[in-house]
Amino acid sequence: MIATIALLVVGPDRLPAFAQQAGKWLGKFRRLINNLQRELKQELLIDESKAFKQQLGDLDDLMKNAPDRDPDFLSKLDPADKKTDH
């Protein structure tokens, strides 16, 4: 169907040159889209990596500041919060 319309619009003499030029433009367009997809994937991976590193850093900070790392933790508790074996 498209070939018939192209034949009527362009004419039989110019159709081969038109098809060749259209093929070149289509190839350029496909390369452009592929490059954009590749760059977008790289950026997403970089963003995910940064977010993951931030989460690891936050977790590391939590672990460093965990109550069990503080030797005076139990002495800082309210007497009502301390559990006894009575």
Residue 81 or 22, more confident: 22
What's the token pair of residue 5?
Answer: 């319309």
Q: Kindly list the distances between the CA atom of residue 2 and the CA atoms of 9, 10, 17, 22, 76, in Å, as whole numbers in the listed order.
A: 10, 12, 16, 13, 81
Q: pLDDT tens for residues 16-67?
A: 898 899 999 999 999 999 999 999 999 998 989 988 999 999 888 888 877 7
- Tell if the pTM clears 0.85, that is, is over it: no
Question: Domain residue spans in the chain?
Answer: 33-63
What does the alpha-carbon distance between residue 31 and residue 34 come to, in Å, rounded to a whole number? 5
